[in-house]
Amino acid sequence: MERARIAGSPVALEAAIAEAARLVAASKQALIAGLGTDVAGARAAIALARRTGAVIDHMHAESLLRALDVVRSSGVMLTTPTEVDVGADTLLLAGPILQVGQFQQHIFAPTHRDHGAIERRIFWLCPGTDAAKAPSRRSAIRPIGRTPRELPALLAALRARVAGRPVGRAAVSAKLLEETARDLKASRFGVAIWSAAELDALTVEMLCGLVDDLNATTRFSALPLLPADNLLGALQVCGWLTGFPMRTGFGRLDPHHDPWLFDGRRLVDSGEADCVIWISAYRAAAPPWRRAPPTIALTADAAGFESPPRVHIAVGTPAVDHGAVHHLPLTGTLAAVAASQPSNMISVADAISRIAAALPDDGARRC
Amino acid sequence: MLTRIAGGRVIDPANGRDGAGDVWMRDGRIIEAPMDARADVTYDAAGKIVMAGAIDIHSHIAGWNVNTARLLLPEHHRAALQRPAATPLALAGWSTFETGCRYATMGFTTVVEPAVSPHYALHAHLELADTPIIDKATLAVLGNDDYLLSLLRAKASGSAIEDYVAWILDMSRSIGVKVVNAGGAAAFKENVRAFSFDDVVPSYGVSSRQIVKALQRAVNNLGVPHPLHVHCNNLGLAGNVETALTTIAAAEGLPLHLAHLQFYGYGKEGERGFSSAAARLAEAVNAAAEVTIDVGQVMFGPTVTISADVLRQFNARDQARPKKWLIFDGDGNGAGIVPYDYRRNDFYNAVQWAVGLELFLLIDNPRQVFFTTDHPNGAPFTTYPDIFALLMSRDLRAKWIADLPPAAMAVTTLASIAREYTLPEIAAMTRAAPARLFGLSDRGHLGPGAVADVAIYEDDADRARMFRVASLVFKDGELVARDGRVTRRSWGRALTVAPQRDRAVDRRMKDYYEERYGLSDEFVKVPAHALGRPQPFEFVPCRS
């Protein structure tokens, strides 16, 4: 398999590294995007951004920042997948969730385990077309409302009934609303689950408010499902190295965070970014934009690209080709995972470190 | 390389030294003054104060909780603000990089992150590996975890508990064990809203006292140098001095460390039913030689409270300033992050400030009372220099007291306390004693063989200015900071223990994780190679 290409033609890895370094050194505003990589790769990417004044973004930053927006402006209760697994007797699903592949079997598991097995009750608000696709035991799932469009108003009505306030017409019958409010309050440990890619910030805030209100008399918590590509791992690394999530730039030496200013797509569309390092090591995702400045792609292969990137370095898949630390959706933690099929494919961290080492010294900025 | 620090006032209470003299270093260690040798480098310290590098025993600087607080409060970060001096946390440095650099420039060379949930140990160590210059260590949080509570419910033997604790310490690469509101988080999962020392966790049928005593014995029997580190029940509540006194009495002759005692120094006197009970607490500590405490001093200004005491944080969420918070129903303890603003003109905050200083000043033995703000819960660590100054000057305290609500000062004894800490007492409290408390025989002093961590300060009458910026700081014998600027960035090590255990526990834990979670226990491990630094750990011996 070809390991490296320049403008679509196979080259030695060294030549690709050198060309990548030349592109980065010649750029006025580099963008490091995609960021589908393990902790070591994210560390290396942020170190390179700090050194070159680049911007850091992630391919799923949109969903993430929507979820974070609620955390940064109101109160939220959160729990872990493992706590859901062993403790939740009630689940409140909000909107479609089946797009998020991970953790499904745990959500739809028949029982929870601590202190004796109890049948788990599942309420699903506005599942949309997911309702027909739920994996198993459809009878144990109670759908409430239909299309996701109805969800904000339904949540508001439900929250009002949980708090004992009157409501007018809702998307479902007053009786169903009443029963649902009563059943949620009767749960022992309930968890609200939604897909961060599906719900807008105000809907999430309403849902989090409902969870908080339920805690007046019982225990309830929440678990947003986030896209993969080590999104949460990259978030954590960004957090400890910069204090901020992704969409952070180093143009002013200190990291600055601005979800609009440092949106990778905006930087590319506006022509502000004149060099892109696109990272997608878990799968060969291509960037979501069409016309791009010179791009250095660190992906499994460049198949998805409309035209070949200026530089392509084929990288190994974390935890497959090489050992990796990344976020495990089943535990909600960062964990060290051994390579399942060790190979000599280069890792993102190595590739970036070699590009950084090949930068001319005068390209290095004070930090 | 042979290095000489010449002619400073060397204050080294562990070795009974206080006077002008030299300190010599070679290959990262302090050495005897050599006969007939010429130093390769000499630093003139005449007129300056020379101490060992300081050790912070309780500061929340890394891990999931801390990182989530960063993400919750972008406005606290320096780069988000045009006026950095306006917010204390901005000065605290909110990234791991700034944390290490700012500690080092103040002359601190070892810092303990005191609340790492075992499942998040790798995360915490990754952050610590990215924290430059200083050495660090973590405490593993136990006492609300299903495995331990199930052992206690089953009336398992002491050795079964010891094996489990040893396994946790080994997996999580910790230096000791902390228990946070023992049983309180587990009870909260079952909708209990208040939990005291003799209350019982419903499904497990074990009391907070039983959990604390079991862990205290296990830590002691394993020979782990640091005694069980206890965050008591009922943090922050009026009248909770009774909880602290009950917990101190429960030490029963075995070592026990009580964290951030200031938050438990509250009586119910006065018009508002909230008063300082620090004098009673100090008296109890003075009478219990086996008990050590750290203060958790409050200073005024905006900060954020980060705690594994999820029950307390849940109950405090309505007091968030600004109004946002995150309550984490996690495995074992969980956590809560609640921003807070301690205000000078707030009666309760002013009492809290006074309680902390009273504890510092009324506990007689500086080796029993440790210097902390419970960073960032009472105040960010960047306020330490101001606290040193307050401890060293009654006049300065009087000036502060004059600006605070008289009604608050009337329910404390602070104004009547004349004591002023001396520099040797500050050195004992921040160097010699912490090293002893963690079994770090080669730290906290300047005797031959000690790690060459040295802080040199101007002998400035303004003690806050003196301690804010060390003149010179050496880490492992290398100059790392000069006048507040980092001159060399090394990465430091995490100090850890590995007590002996019966390896049969490894199998039991593997089965437990398979059974309870359907997962391999691999995710709990902190392998050195995962941290990306050449030698991330340094092992501290256990007592045999």
With left for phi above 0 and alpha for psi between -120 and 50, is residue A246 left, alpha or beta?
beta
**A240/B188 CB distance under 8 A:** no
Rounded CA separation A139/A145 (Å): 16
A240 vs B190: CB contact, 8 Å cut-off?
A: no
Separation between Cα atoms, residue A70 and residue A201, nearest integer Å: 6
Residue A171 to chain B, least CA–CA distance (Å)? 31
**Cα separation values, A175 from A158, A210, A211, Å:** 11, 19, 21
**B78: nearest CA in chain A?**
A254
| Structure-token pair, residue A228 | 């993969």
Contacts of A219 in chain B (CB under 8 A): 188-191, 329
Is A77–B191 a contact, with Cβ atoms under 8 angstroms apart? no
Cβ <8 Å between A43 and B130: yes
Query: Which backbone phi and psi does A122 adopt, to 5 degrees?
Result: -125, 120
Return the pLDDT at A365.
46
Interchain contact, B74 vs A336, CB within 8 Å: no
Task: Residue A107: list chain B partners with CB under 8 A.
Answer: none
Number of residue pairs across A and B with CB atoms under 8 Å? 151
| The pLDDT value given to residue A169 | 85
Judged by CB atoms closer than 8 Å, whether chains meet at B516 and A43 is answered as no
Residues of B in contact with A39 (CB under 8 A): 126
What pLDDT is attached to residue A361? 78
CB neighbour list of residue A33: distance below 8 Å, 6 or more residues apart: A56, A57, A58, A59, A264, A276, A277, A278, A279, A287
- CB-closest option in A71, A86, A252 to B516: A86
* pLDDT (0 to 100) of residue B77: 62
User: Is the minimum CB–CB distance between A339 and chain B shorter than 8 Å?
Assistant: no
Say yes or no for a CB contact (<8 Å) between B80 and A76.
no
This prediction's pTM = 0.97
B179 to chain A nearest CA, in Å? 20
Chain A nearest C-alpha distance from B487 (Å): 12
The answer to whether the CB of B482 falls within 8 A of the CB of B101 is no
Give the one of B130, B191, B525 whose C-beta lies nearest to A218's C-beta: B191
Cβ contacts of B517 on chain A, cutoff 8 Å: 82, 85-86, 330-331
- For chain A, which residues score pLDDT lower than 50? 363-367
Which candidate, B233, B186, B193, places its Cα nearest to that of B209?
B233
Give A 109-148 residues with CB within 8 A of chain B. 113-115
pLDDT tens per residue across span A198-240: 999 999 999 999 999 999 999 999 999 999 999 999 999 999 9
A-chain residue closest to B204, CA distance:
A115
Pairwise CB contact (< 8 Å): A79 & B532? no
The Cα-based distances of B544 to B11, B92, B499, B500 in angstroms read 32, 39, 9, 9
Instruction: Please give the angle made by the CA atoms of B520, B522 and B525, to the nearest 5 degrees.
Output: 150
CB A142 within 8 A of CB A124: yes
Candidates A258, A333, A337, partner chain B, best to mutate (most B CBs within 10 A): A333
Contact A245 B327 (CB under 8 A): no
User: Is residue B324 within 8 Å of residue B368, measured between CB atoms?
Assistant: no
Mutation test of the interface with chain B: which of A334, A347, A350, A366, choosing the one with the most B Cβ atoms within 10 A? A334
pLDDT digit of tens for each residue in chain B (544 aa)?
999 999 999 999 999 999 999 999 999 999 999 998 899 999 999 999 999 999 999 999 999 999 999 999 887 765 444 434 445 455 556 899 999 999 999 999 999 999 999 999 999 999 999 999 999 999 999 999 999 999 999 999 999 999 999 999 999 999 999 999 999 999 999 999 999 999 999 999 999 999 999 999 999 999 999 999 999 999 999 999 999 999 999 999 999 999 999 999 999 999 999 999 999 999 999 999 999 999 999 999 999 999 999 999 999 999 999 999 999 999 999 999 999 999 999 999 999 999 999 999 999 998 999 999 999 999 999 999 999 999 999 999 999 999 999 999 999 999 999 999 999 999 999 999 999 999 999 999 999 999 999 999 999 999 999 999 999 999 999 999 999 999 999 999 999 999 999 999 999 999 999 999 989 999 999 999 999 999 999 999 999 8
If contacts are CB pairs under 8 Å, which of residues 56-75 in chain A contact chain B? 68, 71-75
Which residues 6+ apart lie within 8 Å of B134 measured at CB? B100, B103, B104, B108, B109, B110, B111, B475, B492
| Pick among B327, B513, B529 to test the A interface (most A CBs inside 10 A) | B327
Query: What phi and psi, each to the nearest 5 degrees, are found at residue B162?
Result: -60, -40
Q: What stretch of H or E contains B328?
A: strand B325-329
Q: Is some CB atom of chain B closer than 8 A to the CB atom of A82?
A: yes
What is the structure's pLDDT at B82? 43
Which helix (H) or strand (E) segment holds residue B343: the answer is none
Q: Using alpha carbons, select from B74, B150, B522 the residue that is nearest to residue A319.
A: B522
- Chain A residue with CA closest to B145: the answer is A83
Q: Which residues in B425-470 belong to E strands, given as ranges?
A: 454-458
For residue B74, the chain A residue with the least C-alpha distance is A244
Scan residues 243-262 of A and list those with Cβ closer than 8 Å to B.
Answer: 243-245, 252, 254-257
Q: How far apart are CA B389 and CA B467, in angstroms?
A: 9
Q: Which residue carries 């009922």 as its tokens? A: B234
Tokens of B444: 């906290």
Say if A337 is an interface residue toward chain B (CB within 8 Å).
Answer: yes
- Which of B147, B331, B522 should we substitute to test contact with A (largest number of A Cβ atoms within 10 Å)? B331
Interface of A with B in 261-320 (CB under 8 A): none
**H/E/C letters for each residue in chain A?**
CCCEEECCEECCHHHHHHHHHHHHHHCCCEEEEEEECCHHHHHHHHHHHHHHCCEECCCCHHHHHHHHHHHCCCEEEEECHHHHHHHCCEEEEECCCCCCCCCHHHHCCCEECCCCCEECEEEEECCHHHHHHCCCCHHHEEEECCCHHHHHHHHHHHHHHHCCCCCCCCCCCHHHHHHHHHHHHCCCEEEEEEECCCCCHHHHHHHHHHHHHHCCCCEEEEEEECCCCCHHHHHHHHHHHHCCCCCEECCCCCCEECCCCCCHHHHHHCCCCCEEEEEECCCCCCCCCCCCCCEEEEECCCCCCCCCCCEEEEECCECCCECEEEEECCCCEEEEECCCCCCCCECHHHHHHHHHHHCCHHHCCCC
Q: What residues of B are in contact with residue A80 (Cβ under 8 Å)?
A: 329-331
pLDDT for the residue numbered B81: 44
Nearest-Cα distance to chain B for A132, in Å, is 28
User: Closest approach of chain A CAs to the CA of B474, in angstroms?
Assistant: 21
Shortest CA gap B243–chain A (Å):
26
- Give the model's pLDDT for residue A110: 66
Q: How many CB atoms lie within 10 A of CB B520?
A: 13
CB contact under 8 A, B79 and A39: no
pLDDT at position A32, please?
98
Distance from CA of A160 to the nearest CA of B (A): 20
Respond yes or no on whether the N-terminal peptide bond of residue A143 is cis (omega within 30° of 0). no
Are A336 and B527 within 8 A, CB to CB?
Answer: yes
Contacts of B192 in chain A (CB under 8 A): none
ipTM passes above 0.90: yes
